[in-house]
Amino acid sequence: MDKLFLTILNMSLTGAVVIAAVCLARLPLKKAPKIISYCLWAVAGFRLVFPYSVESIFSFMPINPQPIPTDIAMQATPRIDSGIAILNNAVSSVLPSPAADVAASINPLQIWTAIGAYVWLFGAAVMLVYGVASYIILKQKLKGARHVEENIFETSIIKSPFVLGIITPRIYLPIGLSDAERGYVLLHEQTHIRRRDHIVKFAAYFVLCLHWFNPLAWIAFLLMGADMEMSCDERVMKDIGGDIRDDYSTSLVRIATGRRILNGSPLAFGEGGMKERVKRVLKFKKPPRVIIVTALALAVVVSIGFAVNGISADSERHWDIYTFPYFNYHDPDNTLRNDVKVIFNTDEGTYPPSIKVINAKLINVAIPGELTCGTSFTLVKRVGDDWRVVPFKDDIGFNHIDILLSIDQSEIYTITKDMFDADLTHGSYRIVTDVWYQGERVPYLPHGIEPDGGEPAFYNMEKLTVWVGFLISENEAGASTTAPFADQPGGEQPGEEQPGGEQSIFVDLAPPSEDSIPIRGVKNVLNDNYGSYPSAVTIEDSSVISLTELSGGLEICWYIDGGAANCAYRKPGGSWMRFLTEDSAYRDGFGAAMYEELFGKSGFYIIAPRGAAYLAHDYYYFDAGGELKLLFEGTYSDVIADFNGDGINELLFFYHGGRMAEYCYADGSDILRVDIIHELSSRSDWEYIAADPLSAVDGELQVAYQVGDLHYYVQLRFTQSEMLLTASREA
């Protein structure tokens, strides 16, 4: 129900913008036929009911159609995306973040969202019950009305005529109308029925029930009713012909005098807004053709402009797709790749969302002669399975300047958020640029093509495309504090801090050969020996071998009891609760730490040595009832990230230096595991397959394998249904 409530809230926000636009459009339409203003409300109704629309460059919508993400309550850092940066920052800064205490079962925004959903549902139910009940009561009181003819009834208990009914609408008239008044009223009410206004009023009230909390929805309901009545008045005067303004307005005034509401139902409507209607009738005259044409043009422009969504720069799926160039080195003696020749790194591997400046350093490590680079670069972001170009603002340009770099010289590329026509939100990015050099003939072998006579072809390599990858985390705490590639050579002096980030070099040549493997996960089975008996214990200080205090005052203690290592937790003000016993001779290496999100859960993990080369990381969380649950049994080399782009973190499990590698992901309440090495070994010519845990960066994993006497690397990345293999190259 929370998602339904947030969907209604999004529609109410976009609908409010359209209602405001229609209200403004009514001002220049005052002299135009009221039927035009009446029809304009259909656009507001569309926005209040349908959460989706087509996208067009002709849109006037100033905000995104879904400014509030439906999963905002589950986000580590809740943030709206209205399309207006100032509004985003102002609102997002006051949204409550998840509790730092991992023992807390629900974060504050979940609570407020649930409360809001129930309040909305209660209000909508009250409105619906009121509308139906008042309709039934009014119909009961009108049972004694005298049938005059067809669908016309007369009764003495009303002072004002109205239409009641949806499928078979009836016209109810007060007794005592003159023949002229009766004629005007009947023509007016019959016009309502002919135009299906009684159905429109019913639908409008239903929309109002959904958006009862929105003041602009009430304004739209009232103004639409007024436009409906006045457009009907105009139709009556046009059909009768002649100058009947005085007689018609006198009839309206007389009907309104002494009028009382009979258990007013929003589904019954008639002579409302008399003062404005009388003024309109007295001033009525057929408008000139130019006013009608202009009004129709304005109505069409407003209708189209606010019925469709804009193609925003923040709509990442509309960004241009970037294809990385590819080159497969043929270097059996490893003479060319012994040394890194060019390094392109960022100052950090992961940045917080508040980052304003990112610096990337390009270093000529070992290119003989001079390396030539420019000032321009391209920023791309991983969107689904594609890399897409982040658009620059229109006023951003680069000077075409050649920069010459000798060995050990470098060039800094500086990125600021205000350079782009889109917010740099959480995700994986790459900075891409080109470099040139001459004077070195590099042997190469295009993928899948054997050289003639067993000798490699040669290519005078003049242009290389280089890139460096980095992440923007979901929250401020997710930023890295050390550079992940600090040990890479880069011409820096010993002791000088090295820039961090992912690096690679590609050369423009043949496209990569891609392959895919369907993801077939096997359900993870937890060890019954672990996490099966939380029980209260007393811990002697002398028995403690590790004590860790986590956020929110949660404590994790490892202690010795009966010759075994035991683990217990204590919430603030609570007792120690033992939840794990390790039959282990180890007394060092135990500990605990927090994890932010894994498989949709948050909590802590314990660290325990379970072998000479096996340091276990077991992940725990507290469920909604506060009970401790074991989530997953992992290792110290696990890598946690959103590998398949579904918004939930998965885990890569490694053991024996990568000779065992598994991809673990959530499927509902189950955790499924895919044996990566086993899946790849199905290729008959692949041998000695091993994954590199340190390469699991930017949603990709590098896997080494051997075919005959040749060694290769392949890049592996994941979608929600497949493992994709790409950019295979010889090691």
Q: What is the pLDDT of residues 117-129, one digit of tens each?
A: 999 999 999 999 9
**What dihedral angle (degrees, nearest 10) is formed by the CA atoms of 541, 544, 548, 552?**
-50
Coil, strand or helix: which one is 456?
A: coil
98/76 Cα distance (integer angstroms) = 7
* pLDDT over 80 (residue 496): no
Q: Are 551 and 594 in contact (CB under 8 A)?
A: yes
Q: What is the pLDDT of residues 249-262, one digit of tens each?
A: 777 666 665 444 44
**What is the average pLDDT across 389-404?**
80
Confidence band, pLDDT 50/70/90 cuts, at residue 240: confident
Q: What is the pLDDT of residues 303-332, one digit of tens each?
A: 999 998 877 655 677 788 887 764 433 333
Tokens 């258990």 belong to residue: 263
The more confidently predicted of residues 686 and 195 is 195
Strand partners, 546: 558
* pLDDT value for 23: 94
Tokens 């003939």 belong to residue: 441
* pLDDT value for 93: 77
* pLDDT value for 512: 37
User: Poorest-confidence range of 90-104, 357-371, 492-506?
Assistant: 492-506
* pLDDT value for 458: 41
In the chain, where the domains are located: 2-307, 317-510, 522-730
User: Poorest-confidence range of 53-57, 354-358, 394-398, 405-409?
Assistant: 394-398
Confidence band, pLDDT 50/70/90 cuts, at residue 523: confident
* pLDDT over 90 (residue 569): yes
Confidence band, pLDDT 50/70/90 cuts, at residue 561: confident
* pLDDT over 90 (residue 619): yes
Q: What is the pLDDT of residues 479-492, one digit of tens each?
A: 544 333 333 333 22
Q: Are 336 and 82 in contact (CB under 8 A)?
A: no
- Backbone φ and ψ of 680, nearest 5°: -70, -30
**What is the average pLDDT across 506-521?**
53
* pLDDT over 80 (residue 9): yes
The pair of structure tokens assigned to 33 is 């036929």
* pLDDT over 60 (residue 162): yes
**What is the average pLDDT across 537-566?**
90
